[in-house]
Amino acid sequence: MPDVGIHLKGEVSLPDLFQKLRQDIGENVGAVGCFVGVVRGLSEDGERVKFLRYESSEDAVKKLEQIAADIEKRPDIWRVMIHHVVDQIAPGEDAIYVLVAGRRRDDVFRALPELMNRVKAEAPIWKKEVTEQREYWVHELAERK
């Protein structure tokens, strides 16, 4: 069963998730991969970031579950965890944790980018970047380019 969640800041951490994963690990697990998305202090345009504000719809958890389940059903994947922080997040703080346990390192190295790409493209989660100069939703930034 995949393990996913949407959290406020401070409710979740990589050490806690890793420990939870370790408590019930299959005998065929030889590799664990983790990804942590961190808020950068400089925007794409080089402006100093004050914070990012993440927002999600009520469907976000269901979508994260679906993404995680799609990967977890592979025979060489034991467990997928996706935990997103939806809150006001300062530079240096974590926005997302993705963990994958699988048979070999290739299994987890393949799964991690797929999971992140799908979360970015499919999960109903948005972010607004607030820099010292201005504030904008990140999709607006993409539009300008």
Partner 1 sequence: MGSALGITVKFFANFREAVGQEQVEVAAAMDVAALLDELVRRFGERMAKQLYESGSKKLCETVNVLVNGRGINLLSGLDTKLKDGDVVAIFPSVSGGG
Site for its own copies in 27-46 (CB under 8 A): 27-42
User: What is the DSSP annotation of 75-139?
Assistant: TTEEEEEEEEE-SEE-TTSEEEEEEEEESSHHHHHHHHHHHHHHHHHHS-EEEEEEESS-EEEHH
Binding to partner 1 by CB under 8 A, coded x per residue (else -) over 29-68, reads: -xx----xxxx--------------xxxx-xx--------
Nearer to its own copies, 59 or 109 (CB): 109
Contact 67, 124 (CB under 8 A): no
Coil/strand/helix, residue 36: strand
Supply the angle between the helices 60-72 and 105-122 in degrees, to the nearest 10: 150
- Tell me which of 1, 10, 92, 142 binds its own copies, using CB under 8 A: 92
Site for partner 1 in 80-119 (CB under 8 A): 84, 94-96, 105, 116, 119
Nearer to partner 1, 56 or 88 (CB): 56
The footprint of its own copies (CB under 8 A) covers 14-15, 18-19, 22, 25, 27-42, 91-92, 101, 103, 105-106, 108-109, 112-113, 116
